[in-house]
A and B are shown apart, each in its own frame.
Chain A
Amino acid sequence: MQAYLIRRLLALFPTLLFVSLIVFGSIRLIPGNVVDLMLAQNDVSTGQDRERVEAALGLDRPITVQYFVWLGDALQGDLGKSLWQGTSVAAELAARVPITFELGFLALIVALTTALPIGVYSALRQDTAGDYLTRSFSLLMLAIPGFWLGTLVMVFPSVWWRWAPELDDPPFFQNPLKNLSHMLVPAILLGLSLSAVTMRITRTMMLEVMRQDYIRTARAKGVGEVLLVVRHALRNGLIPVVTLVGLQAPVLIGGSVIMEQIFVIPGMGLLLLEAVFSRDYPVVSGVFLIVGVGVLLINLAVDLSYGFLDPKVRHQ
């Protein structure tokens, strides 16, 4: 188990290196670069000013030096300052990330509490009407764009019943109930597509596991059907489900950008969009980096969880 842990941690470094290169490279690719943008904003454009600004930002140094300075700063939690507000990007992120995390976490709960029971049901009743219904539903959920569902939820209830989703958003610890009522609709919408994917894999895995010999043995010695599913089948069937949920973390984050935009949730996604439209590149790259590192850590956590879920990994 310990060796496994260490191996996983070591494997993280090359990926992290490439992640940092992708983020750094993307900032440097900006056409007309940030300096022009800043100079244009301040109505000064003599050659000297340009050099001074470049020197102040460290842009006159070789690209490799710039990379290591940037990396060093990032490692110390310094992600630079917003071009327009002058606020620290790290502080801004610290305020926004928990909100997106809450949305993602609620969506995950919605997805799992719907997908697991339905997926198991679908597998146990293979090829019945119920199975076909849930399978078609999950295929449909994979095709419906989240932003359209969100739009429908905003428009139709308001036209028909004068009802609109809550858009006022107090922080969770100030007013938990009101906060949750704001988050609920976007979380359900965000959870639906994840639920569809999870349902499909749960069904496939359960079908596979239920055909195994040890299930037949358990059944033969008289284990009840409920216990059989919960204790014997699910524990093995769930391992790939955990992997899948981990792999879906990026999808969840991407989807939350859209939900935050529709439901005006001041999370990381909305921050990214605001920054993109105001060309606030330090903020854009800050969000970009945090998202990348965050997903990497989630993947690591998923890998490590095998150690607990799968005895084969534990005893390697």
Chain B
Amino acid sequence: MDLLVRLVRDKPLGAAGGAVFVFFLLCGIFTGVLAPQGLNETDLYHRLESPSPDFLLGTDHLGRDVLSRVLYGAQISMIVALLAAGLATVVSIAIGIVSGYFGGRTDLIIQRFVDAWMVFPGLVLLIVVISIVGAGLTQMVIILGLQYGIAGSRMVRSAAVTVREQMYVHAAQSIGARSLHTLVRHVLPNVMPVVIVLFTTRIGLVILSEAGLSFLGLGIPPPATTWGGLLSGTGRTYMYLGPWLALAPGLCLTIVVFAVNVLGDALRDLLDPRMRGSQ
């Protein structure tokens, strides 16, 4: 709560970014109410119509309302974003805290594994894994969560290393607190600032990755509608006849990711001075 007040007062731009994200979140939650047409409702009398008062963003080659499809896309994007970014954060916390707090050989082995993991381009790794486990919402969330969770664990680790040397942790250890207790009660609360920033920045990355995979035809399969999917497949051939088809999904993607990035930058400045200016 206190953080929210500080955000609005000190970083109005970041707060605006947050507001835009919440707007898309609400669009995702209330899609069913907001969308003028059903998910795959076709209207063959109104095919490839340019934007008009009846169809605010035009229609596609099957007469489906683009606005409705973009809204359903927002729903998928938001579900994937929150779940995958949430999972990624949990994975980062687990790996980062264990590696940073215990140190020594545990840390060394975990960190070499993380090194090796980070060698693979996110997109290539995702493509390979999806070729193995198949496409789908659940797989997407788990894969993106693992991918960005392992990559982001570095930030939690470096915070945990600092916390480990604090007096209160030594105090807890010396009165015989178990490791798990120390980790949950003392280390975790003190790496929370990093975790909040991590979660926010992951949202943007996850949304972009999901869209990229859907664009390549490896995302969540139809009938589900995703922003990346709207820009790929058969839709592409009709873009030359109806260029408006190419605009809305990409614009939404850009606005959401831009907003979340601005929010992430602002939170980083507020919460974690050490990370200021870094990418």
Contact = CB atoms under 8 A, between A and B. Distances in A.
Interface of A: 14-19, 21-22, 26, 29-31, 139-140, 142-148, 151-152, 155-156, 158-159, 197, 200-201, 204, 244, 250-255, 257-258, 261, 272-273, 275-277, 279, 281, 284-285, 287-288, 291-292, 295-296, 299
Contacts of A16: 116
Given A139-B261, A155-B239, A250-B121, A276 B253 contact: no
A284 B131 CA distance: 9
Contacts of B74: none
A261 B231 CA distance: 13
Interface of B: 112-113, 115-124, 127-133, 204, 208, 211-212, 215-218, 228, 231-232, 236, 239-240, 243, 246, 249-250, 253-255, 257-258, 261-262, 277-279
A16 B119 CA distance: 10
User: Main SS of the interface on chain B?
Assistant: helix
Given A200-B279, A253-B124, 7 more contacts: A15-B116, A19-B116, A145-B208, A146-B212, A155-B239, A281-B131, A291-B120
Contacts of B127: 257, 272-273, 276
Going nearest first, the 7 A-B pairs with the smallest beta carbon separation are A18-B116, A254-B123, A148-B250, A250-B121, A254-B121, A143-B258, A143-B257
For chain A, what secondary structure do more than half of its interface residues adopt (helix, strand, loop), or is it mixed?
A: helix
Contact of A14 (B112, B117, B279): B112
Contacts of A299: 119
B113 A142 contact: no
A142 B208 CA distance: 10
A22 B120 contact: yes
Contact of B212 (A140, A145, A204): A145
Contact of B254 (A26, A145, A156, A281): A145
A265 to B, nearest CB: 14
Contacts, number: 149
Contact of B231 (A18, A29, A147, A275): A147
B231 A295 contact: no
Given A155-B239, A155-B240, A144 B254 contact: yes
Contacts of B115: 14-15, 18
B34 to A, nearest CB: 23
B240 A250 contact: no
A233 B117 CA distance: 35
Nearest to B108: A14
29 contacts: A14-B115, A15-B116, A15-B119, A18-B116, A18-B117, A19-B116, A22-B120, A26-B129, A31-B132, A143-B204, A144-B254, A151-B250, A155-B239, A156-B243, A158-B240, A159-B243, A250-B118, A253-B124, A254-B122, A254-B123, A257-B124, A257-B216, A258-B212, A258-B215, A261-B216, A284-B131, A288-B124, A291-B121, A292-B120
A151 B231 contact: yes
A254 B124 contact: yes
A138 to B, nearest CB: 11
Given A14-B112, A145-B253, A292-B119, A30 B215 contact: no
A265 B239 CA distance: 21
A151 to B, nearest CB: 5
Nearest to A152: B246
A102 to B, nearest CB: 17
Contact of A250 (B122, B216, B217): B122
A167 to B, nearest CB: 14
Given A31-B133, A145-B208, A276-B131, A18 B123 contact: no
Contact of A145 (B128, B211, B262, B279): B211
A58 B204 CA distance: 44
A19 B133 CA distance: 20
B14 to A, nearest CB: 12
B128 A284 contact: yes
B131 A148 contact: no
A148 B253 contact: yes
B212 A147 contact: yes
A16 B120 CA distance: 12
A253 B208 CA distance: 16
A19 B119 contact: yes
Contacts of A30: 132
A137 to B, nearest CB: 12
A204 B278 CA distance: 8
A272 to B, nearest CB: 6
